[in-house]
Amino acid sequence: MTRMKNKVALVTGAAKGIGAATAAILAREGAKIVCTDLDEQAGQAVADEIANAGGEASFIRHDVVNEAEWEAAAKHAEEKFGGLHILVNNAGIAPESGPIEEKTLESWQRTISVDLDSVFLGCKHGIRTIKKYTAKGGAGGSIINISSILGLVGQPGASDYNAAKGGVRLLTKSAALECADAGYNIRVNSVHPGYIDTPMVKNVINRGVMGGAVVGANEMREMLIMLHPVGRLGIAEEIANAILFLASDESSFMTGSEVVVDGGYTTR
Q: Please enumerate in sequence order all residues whose Cβ is within 8 A of that of 253, keeping only pairs 6 or more positions apart, or say none.
A: none
pLDDT over 80 (residue 212): no
pLDDT tens string 81-126: 999 999 999 999 999 889 999 999 999 999 999 999 999 999 999 9
CA-CA distance, 114 to 171, in Å (whole number)? 15
pLDDT band of residue 67 (cuts 50, 70, 90) is: very high
- Shortest CA distance to 251 belongs to which of 195, 174, 190? 190
Give me the mean pLDDT over the 209-235 stretch. Answer: 86
Give the Cα-Cα-Cα angle 85, 151, 141 (nearest 5 degrees): 10
Flag the least confident range among 164-173, 196-205, 229-238: 196-205
pLDDT at residue 214 in the model: 76
CA-CA distance, 131 to 184, in Å (whole number)? 5
CA-CA distance, 59 to 41, in Å (whole number)? 10
pLDDT over 80 (residue 137): no
List residues bridging with 213 in a β-sheet.
Answer: 210
Is the CB of residue 29 less than 8 Å from the CB of residue 161? no
Percent of the chain with pLDDT over 90: 87
pLDDT at residue 135 in the model: 77
What DSSP assignment string belongs to 54-78? T-EEEEEE--TT-HHHHHHHHHHHH
Catalytic residue (choose from 161, 184, 195, 265): 161
pLDDT over 90 (residue 236): yes
pLDDT over 90 (residue 62): yes
CA distances from 219 to 33, 202, 223 (A): 38, 13, 6
pLDDT tens string 14-39: 999 999 999 999 999 999 999 999 99
CA-CA distance, 15 to 1, in Å (whole number)? 23
Give me the mean pLDDT over the 254-261 stretch. Answer: 98
Known active-site residue 195: no
pTM of the model: 0.95
3-state secondary structure 13-47: CCCCHHHHHHHHHHHHCCCEEEEEECCHHHHHHHH
Query: Mapping DSSP to helix (H, G, I), strand (E, B) and coil, where does residue 228 land?
Result: coil
pLDDT band of residue 138 (cuts 50, 70, 90) is: low
- 8-195+235-267 sits in which CATH class? alpha beta
Work out whether strand 141-146 and strand 213-214 pair parallel, antiparallel, or are unpaired: unpaired
pLDDT over 90 (residue 217): no
Instruction: Show me where the domains of the chain are located.
Output: 8-195+235-267
Q: Please enumerate in sequence order all residues whose Cβ is within 8 A of that of 218, keeping only pairs 6 or more positions apart, or say none.
A: none
- What are the DSSP E strand ranges found in the chain? 8-12, 32-37, 56-61, 86-89, 141-146, 186-193, 209-210, 213-214, 258-261
Is the CB of residue 176 less than 8 Å from the CB of residue 221? no
